[in-house]
Amino acid sequence: MSISTATLWLVIAGLAFGSWLLRFSFLGIIGNKELPEWVKRHLRYTLVAVMPGIIAPLVFMPRATDGAFDLPRFLAAAVTLLVGVWKGNLLMAIAAGGVTLYSMLNSGF
Amino acid sequence: MQSSRHDFWAGLWGALPFCIVVAPYGMVFGVLAAESGLDIFTAVAFSMAVIAGAAQFTALSLMQDQAPVFIVIIVGLAVNLRMALYSATLATHLGAAPFWTRAFVAYAILDHSFALADQKFQNEPDMSLPRKLAFYFGATSLVAVIWVVGTGFGAWLGTRIPDWLALDFAMPIAFIALVAPALRSLPHVIAAFTAATLSLLLAPAPYGLGLIIAALIALVLGAEVERRMGARS
């Protein structure tokens, strides 16, 4: 569970430099050039293609239960997703998911 | 320069709603960082150096799973690839600024602040470069500061939070809430569903590899569906 100090600082340094380079790419290096449409299209999907892949195992195989399916956690995730898509509001979705999780855990699940 | 000052405050004012979202979100990151064993100094340094919520949460989650360093960095940066798109757009507005100014513009690119500035520059194409820069830094500076301060406060709180709060699940909930608003078009839903399903099927693969394969397939599929839908209409 514990993360080594070396790993941590390597990751922070790598992400800091890499993120800055991505942000600087066109502003600083490539300059004022129009990107091809197909490149723009793929860049728009990076977030929705990566994050659900990280989320799904955390939802269906939670760490807290050593990977066994857990109904309160699953329902909390489902409610967060529904409210998030419906309202488009980050905090409202988090609150709805949190309320679902705690009311399920406290009612003995 | 009177008008530039006015533009700075206009940007700051426009970004206030984001601050209200970013403060608790930074706190959640700080709390989870503390739960993962980071001290306040490290958590704050993380947020200051990277200032990108999705990438930081991703990296934290992968490090908890003991994924190798280069996998953590590659996946974290993959989440941040959209920043290159913002950079390309900002280059059309602010490309004439001096090198060091552009270096700072780049450091401070944040999702919502970028959207606000881009919209402003498109609506008022006659704005001078100093005025655009003033608006941009107004829109982005306070949000960035609040992200860092929120992280510090969360990290300080982190070790004081009792177990019954089930914080293990704060990360997935925060992730889902971050992605959900993007799931409003069919290609985005298809990409997200594909990524989730494939990552579950490929979960036995050595950590990181299944995720990267799932993300690549989802990315290409989402973009392809968008292209075909666009071609039809």
Dump pLDDT digits (tens) for B30-81: 998 998 899 999 999 999 999 998 899 889 988 988 889 999 999 999 888 8
Task: Based on the fold, state whether residues B15 and B91 are members of the same structural domain.
Answer: yes
Among B84, B180, B227, beta carbon nearest to A41: B227
Predicted pLDDT at B102? 95
Query: What's the ipTM?
Result: 0.83
> How far apart are alpha carbons B140 and B137 in whole angstroms?
5
Q: By residue range, what is the domain housing residue B233?
A: 183-233
Residue B202 belongs to a domain: yes
Residue B178 belongs to a domain: no
Contact at CB, A84 and B218, closer than 8 angstroms: no
* Residues 6 or more apart in contact with residue B184 via CB below 8 angstroms: A85, A88
pLDDT digit string, tens, across residues B199-208: 999 987 776 6
Plot region of A36 (φ>0 → left; ψ -120 to 50 → alpha; else → beta):
beta
Q: Where among B113, B139, B166 does a domain terminate?
A: B166
Chain B residues near residue A59 by CB distance under 8 angstroms: 172, 176
Predicted pLDDT at B148? 97
Q: Give me Rg for the CA atoms of chain A.
A: 19
- Count CB-CB contacts under 10 A for residue B140: 26
Residue B52 belongs to a domain: yes
Task: Based on the fold, state whether residues B104 and B156 are members of the same structural domain.
Answer: yes
Task: Based on the fold, state whether residues B51 and B137 are members of the same structural domain.
Answer: yes
Q: What is the mean pLDDT of residues B148-171?
A: 83
pTM of the model: 0.79
**CB of B223 within 8 A of CB of A41?**
yes
pLDDT at position A1 over 60: no
Quote the mean pLDDT of chain A: 88
> How far apart are alpha carbons B165 and B141 in whole angstroms?
33
> How far apart are alpha carbons B75 and B72 in whole angstroms?
5
Which own/partner contact pairs does A97-100 have at CB distance under 8 Å and 24+ positions apart?
A97/B173, A97/B176, A97/B177, A98/B170, A98/B173, A100/A72, A100/A75, A100/A76
Residue B138 belongs to a domain: yes
Task: Based on the fold, state whether residues B85 and B133 are members of the same structural domain.
Answer: yes
Q: Is B175 in the A-facing interface, judged by CB distances under 8 Å?
A: yes
Residue B121 belongs to a domain: yes
Task: Based on the fold, state whether residues B153 and B84 are members of the same structural domain.
Answer: yes
How many domains does the structure of chain B reveal?
Answer: 2
**CB of B141 within 8 A of CB of B107?**
no
pLDDT at position B172 over 90: no
Dihedral pair phi/psi, residue B126, rounded to 5°: -85, -5
Predicted pLDDT at B129? 94
> How far apart are alpha carbons B175 and B195 in whole angstroms?
14
Residue B175 belongs to a domain: no
pLDDT digit string, tens, across residues A41-94: 887 788 888 889 888 988 998 877 888 899 999 999 999 999 999 998 878 998
Among A28, A42, A94, beta carbon nearest to B173: A94
pLDDT at position B2 over 60: no
pLDDT digit string, tens, across residues B97-111: 999 999 999 999 998
The shortest C-alpha distance from B128 to chain A (Å) reads: 17
**Amino acid making up residue B155:** A
Q: What is the mean pLDDT of residues B120-128?
A: 89
Unique residue bearing structure tokens 């409210």: A83
Among A7, A42, A91, beta carbon nearest to B69: A7
Residue B176 belongs to a domain: no
A interface mutation test: which of B179, B184, B217 has the most A CBs within 10 A? B179
Task: Give the least confident one: A63-67, B78-82, B83-87, B139-143.
Answer: A63-67
Domain-wise residue ranges, chain A: 1-33, 36-109
